[in-house]
Each structure stands twice: as structure tokens, then as C-alpha cells.
Amino acid sequence: MIKIVVDCYGGDLSPQANIEGAVKAINDNKELYLILVGKEEEIKNELAKYTYNKEQIEIVNATEVIDCNESPTAAIKQKTDSSMVKAYDLLKNNEDLAGMITLGSTGAMLAGAVLKIGRVKGVKRPALCPIVPTMDGGVVAVCDSGANVDCDPVWLEQFAIMGNMYMKYGYNIEKPRVALLNIGTEEEKGDMLRKETYQLLKNNPSINFVGNMESRDFISGNYDLVVCDGFAGNVLLKSTEGTALELLKLIKKAFLKNAKTKLGALMLKKEVYGIKDMMNYNNYPGAILLGVNKLIVKSHGGGKASSVYHSINLIARLQENKIVEKIKEELYKPAE
């Protein structure tokens, strides 16, 4: 049995999306056990809409919700009856719980992970690692994407090691192609952080380091994991997302311009829908926080049931592969 906590609040479509995704996950997998955290009555009313095995779901009541605009640390410390804090307390106090999925505040999620769960022994800094769809139908991960802004080369090396395991066990990629985000592909390119990190990655036998990657190749499908500090990772992710959204908006506008373009758009509906679908975050799991003692996954704040469903399945896959233990084995080197 794999036991996962579902924070049922904090998303734009919560708790409906969270609960629908949770039900879908247990209906797919008899080995899952989910603890839904949030307003008990509301959750019960939602659950009543579905058919599912009641022995695979448990509800834990929590009356508050952490807002995205709250100070993360203060919220974790003070909102003790919020769904996220209760979810973290459950994880903290029950060794057999694998992890948590939330659609709520990323800041509170990071603060809670550090305050309540703690780092894996040997890990310098936990890192947030989302995936992005690539043009060949695959995905590419970015580690770190914003949890750590001022970074040390050794941290980046750890991000590479953890991200490598993540892509291996979470996405079944035998030898993930690991790249360092840089401003050119040549070895000597970049700032001091990149130059030092390049040498660490190049000399690390546990990863398949393929060299520097320029941001223009991010979604090409030529890489499985991009290593960077959280500042650059955040710029990379959000500009990719922003450009794609703005361009799709322009195209939509062009399609709706007049009767002729509308007819043309109708003929292309299936194909253009396919492109939009490929880029829809609801078809993928959320971002994992690597390097803490539980499997914490943050799905998009606007996430639908399918994003919750994919995130639950991701946690289950990673738990089966004991990735937390593997990270510890790799990074914790007790004095001999």
C-alpha cells in the first residue's frame, strides 16, 4: 500500500479538482491509499458524487486555507488548522506516508517542507524540479526552478544528481541527458558559477553530462534535465511559458478575425487543439521538491483533476523506487 496525503485546498478549482483527481487515482490503482485533508463536510459532499472503494480514502478535517498572498513562513507557523499544515503534520508524524500533493502556495509548500519535514541527510539545499513538455512529445526537467536564488557550484551538482534520479525513476529514462543552462555551448562559457559547476558535472561519474545548453534549445527534446540556479531556472521557465501563451493568443486572434479565417480555423481545429493539448500542464504531474524526506509535489494553482491525478501517480512511482533513500545513499557520506 502506498499512502499519499492530498491537500484538498489552495488551488483555483479546489477542492473539486483535488477530489476528482484523487478518486480517479484510486480507481486506477488498488495499491493506493489517500488521505484527503481539508473541510470535512465539503470533501464528503464532493466524494458523494463518485463511485470508489471507500477503504482507500480517509478524510482529515482542516478548517483553514493558506492563501497565495500570505507570508509563507508565518502561514506555516500560525495557520495550524490549515489543510497544508495539517497535511505536513500528518507526513511528519507518520513514517508510512510517502508524500503530499498540493495546488496551494509554492512559498508555503517550500517553507513547510523545510520546517516540518526537513532535508535528506547530505543534501545541502532542496530544489524545486518541474517538467516542461518538449517538441518531440517528451518532457524536460529544470532543477532548480526557484527554491534557491544565490547558489554554490556544489549545490548545482547536487541538483544534477537528484534531478538525474528523478528523471530515471519518475520518467523511466535509462540515462537522462543532463545539461547545464548556460549562455553558450562551449566549456569556457558563462559566469563563475557556471564555469565551476561545469567542471563538477563533467567529472561526476554518476550522471550523463552532455555539456552546456543554451536556453533556445530548452524544449527541443535534446535534453532530459537542465541544471541551473533557481533565478535562471525561473527566468527560463516563465519566459518559455509566457512566450507560448502570448503566441497562442495571437494565433487565436488571427483565427477569429473574419468569416474566412474562422472557416480556415475550423479545418485546423483538431491539429491546433493537439498543440494546445501537448502544452497543457493538466496533462503532466506538478513540480517535485527534491532533497526533503518526503515526496512533495506542487501542481499548478489552476490545475484540474488530471493534474492532481498525474501528480499522485508520480509520487506512487517514486515511492515504489524508493527515491528518497537513493538520494540519501548518494549524497550522505558519513565520516569514515
Range 304-325 burial, b when 16+ CB lie within 10 A, else e: bbbbbbbbbbbbbbbbebebbe
Centre a 10 Å sphere on the Cβ of residue 278 and count the other Cβ atoms it contains. Answer: 12
Residue partners of 195: CB distance under 8 A and separation at least 6: 188
CB of 202 to its own copies, least distance (A): 19
- Coil, strand, or helix at residue 2? strand
Least distance (Å) between residue 36 CB and its own copies:
30
* Helix residue ranges, H only, the chain: 16-28, 40-47, 72-78, 83-93, 106-112, 153-170, 192-202, 230-255, 259-267, 269-278, 305-320, 323-331
C-beta of 42: minimal distance to its own copies in Å?
31
Closest CA to 128 of 108, 146, 116: 146
Residue 298 in the binding site for its own copies (CB under 8 A):
no
Q: Which is nearer to its own copies, 118 or 211 (CB)?
A: 211
Identify residues 201-260 at the interface with its own copies (CB under 8 A): 214-220, 229-232, 234-251, 254-255, 257, 260
CB of 119 to its own copies, least distance (A): 21
- State the minimum distance, in angstroms, from the CB of residue 308 to its own copies: 23
CA 333 – CA 336 distance, rounded (Å) = 8
Smaller CB distance to its own copies: residue 2 or 151? 151
Chosen residue from 67, 81, 191, 325 binding its own copies by CB under 8 A: 191
Query: Using CA atoms, how far apart are residues 215 and 179, in angstroms rounded to an integer?
Result: 11
Q: Which three cell numbers stand for residue 110?
A: 517550500
Stretch that binds its own copies, among 25-33, 121-129, 183-191, 314-322 (CB under 8 A): 183-191
CB of 102 to its own copies, least distance (A): 19
Nearer to its own copies, 58 or 217 (CB): 217
> For strand 139-143 and strand 177-182, is the pairing parallel, antiparallel, or unpaired?
unpaired
Q: What is the CA angle 276-137-148, rounded to 5?
A: 85
Helix or strand or coil: residue 16?
Answer: helix
CB 252, CB 265: distance < 8 Å: no
Tell which one of 122, 187, 265, 321 touches its own copies (CB under 8 A): 265
Of the pair 148, 311, the CB lying nearest its own copies is at 148
Q: Which of residues 76-105 bind its own copies (CB under 8 A)?
A: none
Question: Is the Cβ–Cβ distance between 181 and 215 less than 8 Å?
Answer: yes
Q: Please tell me whether residue 275 binds its own copies under the rule CB under 8 A.
A: yes
Nearer to its own copies, 234 or 293 (CB): 234
153 is a site residue for its own copies (CB under 8 A)? no
| Residue 118 grid cell | 526537513
Q: Which of 112, 146, 153, 286 binds its own copies (CB under 8 A)?
A: 146
Residue from 55, 96, 150, 336 touching its own copies (CB under 8 A): that is: 150
Report which of 36, 56, 33, 34 is spatially closest to residue 45, judged by C-alpha positions.
Answer: 36
Task: Report how many residues bind its own copies under the rule CB under 8 A.
Answer: 54
135 touches its own copies (CB under 8 A): yes
54 binds its own copies (CB under 8 A): no
Positions that interact with its own copies (CB under 8 A) = 135, 146, 149-150, 181, 183, 190-192, 194, 214-220, 229-232, 234-251, 254-255, 257, 260-261, 263-268, 271-272, 274-275
